Amino acid sequence: MSEFHVHPQAAVVEEGGVARFQCQIHGLPEPLITWEKNQVPIDTANERYTLLPKGVLQITGLCEEDSGVFHCVASNSASVRVSHGARLTVSGSGPPTYKEPAILVGPENLTLTVHQTAVLECVATGNPRPIVSWSRLDGRPIGVEGIQVLGTGNLIISDVSVQHAGVYVCAANRPGTRVRRTAQGRLVVQAPAEFVQHPQSISRPAGTTAMFTCQVQGEPPPHVTWLKNGQVLGPSAHVRLRNNNSTLTISGVGPEDEAIYQCVAENSAGSSQASARLTVLWAEGLPGPPQDVRACSVSPTEVRVSWAQPRAPIQDIVGYVLHIRKAADPPELEYQEALSKSTLQHLVSDLEPFTAYSFYIEAYTAQGPGLASAPVLASTLGEAPAAPPLSVRSLGSSTVQLLWEAWPRLAQLRGGFKLFYRPASAPFFSGPVLLPGTSSSYNLSRLDPGAVYELRLLAYNQLGEGNATVRFVSLRGASERAEAAPQASTAGLVVGIHIGVTCTVLCALFLLCGQKGRLLLCKDVENQLSPPQAPRGHRGAGVLALSGAALARRGQAAKELEQLFPVGGAAGRPDPHGTPKPTVPAAPGEDTEIPMRPLGPQPPEPTCTACHPDTPTALPAGRLPEGLPGGGQPLPPPATLVPQLADSNP
């Protein structure tokens, strides 16, 4: 064991408070920490004494008998060491007073490896004694498996895993209130590199492709390195590493590629390695690699590849396979062309201009492919660009917008676009307007609205100019639409205002007439059911005049009611004062005039129960009114009155 890195310190604490001592020491094996008070081991059965791993002693609810000298004792199979003594003095507390909750010691930031034990310490004081609680800052539940609380609020997580990583918050709450104090600490859990998928030993015929896959996980994410027979393996012409080095691809394998390949994964928590063997199958009598392979560019889209026959044996060759891919592409994107055994050159077509390609060739027999030739590179020639697709649209009476597809590759070849334009009647073009290859639009303004224009757009590069795209455009229609637009807008606005006002007036009249119409029939029934109190002219009874079909229907209803309930007086008869009552002629075919209500204040009228069910109709005391069936007879009970009235009017 080493010497103590941290010794316990003396403390003076009030009675009822919390005391804390700590010591630190390292050793192999890990030392066991115990505590002594006055050179006597402390009583671990006392609930007020809490011993935490890593050498922490907490004493809660202090009293006078807790005073003394404390020592930290560390022991392992090698030796025993005792720390310096630390005196604890418990002072009188005096009368109890309120104290805000406070956290003396909060959780520390910890970095652990999986399967270790995390100790998150939280020591709180206050009066009344605060309640300590724990939570995660991200809101996830802490869980219960492997979780325990020691003392008054220390969180212990046994056998930590990557899922336990996070920020933990310790809160000291005053009982019965929302007063609280918090402290937080971050727990980082590291996991050494672990294999999810090991590389597998494989056997491949010569000239084919071999692939190894090595999937690993860990925290932090491990770094993967490949070794070939113990030597670091890097990418080369036929060796490629992908997916963060998790996939190793070897194309065109030969005898020199037969080896043991190791996948080494490592991070700050540890490292792991796995290995696999590559066996190259070599059949007797297979041909060697074709000789003197050459590739020569013929045109912007063609390359001629030539070769010589491989060394003996060649009598069993049945053909050749040419492998083609862009030099910048991975090997798995290559494609092949099969050729006859008598072919020693081939023209590869449909290639992209000004692009580098890789070629290699294999001779095949009935037993399989022979050795592949060394790859050769060739670049296709460049060419002037093609005519760009062009569309034109009008933006006003004197502006047009030209739209086409951007060609970023033109910029790599010191190229771009050129724009020429002229009125169709003019002999010469204006321009060129030079535009970069990354542009895709241009606005041509200050044009004559009455002219027809010819537009020419072409692309160019360091090899020359391509064909131009020609468009003719006229702005006359756009100019006429622009002039007509203000007049049309003004006319539309005026028409819209008239329509809106008309609709508003019609809606108001419709609502008013509808409401008055619903009261018409009710008022006539009301006048007939009311007892005769005075001439009709004195009562001022009148009805709103309606028009059209509604007027005819109301006249018919009034006529039927007059026949059912005849009373003295008739509609339109002059009142006793000699003032003629205004009337409206009935609808065609009717002989009844409908009285109109005079303007001005009207005397109150009886309320109709058909319109207002909650208000009873005024009747003579104890008798039915004259003019009704059974008029003048004693008033029947309420239960029979309604049926009598209903039966009298089918």
pLDDT digits (tens, 9 = 90+) for 581-590: 444 444 444 4
Tokens representing residue 507 in the block: 């809606």
pTM metric for this prediction:
0.45
Count how many Cα atoms sit within 13 Å of the Cα of residue 557 in the half-sphere of its side chain.
17
Mean pLDDT for the stretch of residues 517-535: 46
DSSP string, 238-298: SEEEETTTTEEEE-S--GGG-EEEEEEEEETTEEEEEEEEEEEE--TT---PPEEEEEEEE
Tokens representing residue 626 in the block: 């004259």
Query: Are 540 and 603 a contacting pair, CB within 8 Å?
Result: yes
Residue linked to tokens 């003197």: 292
**pLDDT at residue 329, rounded to an integer:** 86
Most confident of 172-181, 331-340, 342-351: 342-351
**pLDDT at residue 587, rounded to an integer:** 42
pLDDT digits over 448-460, tens only? 888 898 999 999 8
Mean pLDDT for the stretch of residues 412-425: 87
Q: Over pLDDT 90: what percentage of the chain?
A: 36
Q: Give the whole-angstrom CA distance, residue 288 versus residue 293.
A: 13
**pLDDT at residue 62, rounded to an integer:** 87
Mean pLDDT for the stretch of residues 27-49: 90
In 3D, which of 132, 129, 139, 126 has the Cα closest to residue 100?
126
Which residue did the predictor score with more confidence, 624 or 533?
624
Query: Are 337 and 322 a contacting pair, CB within 8 Å?
Result: yes
Tokens representing residue 506 in the block: 């019609």
Query: Over the Cα atoms of the chain, what is R_g?
Result: 53
Tokens representing residue 382 in the block: 């460049």
Per the prediction, the chain carries an average pLDDT of: 78
Lowest model confidence (mean pLDDT) among 219-233, 438-452, 581-595: 581-595
Mean pLDDT for the stretch of residues 606-626: 47
Query: Are 64 and 57 a contacting pair, CB within 8 Å?
Result: no
Which residue did the predictor score with more confidence, 611 or 505?
505
Task: Using the predicted structure, report yes or no on whether residue 179 has a pLDDT greater than 90.
Answer: no
Per-residue pLDDT band for 541 (boundaries 50, 70, 90) equals: very low
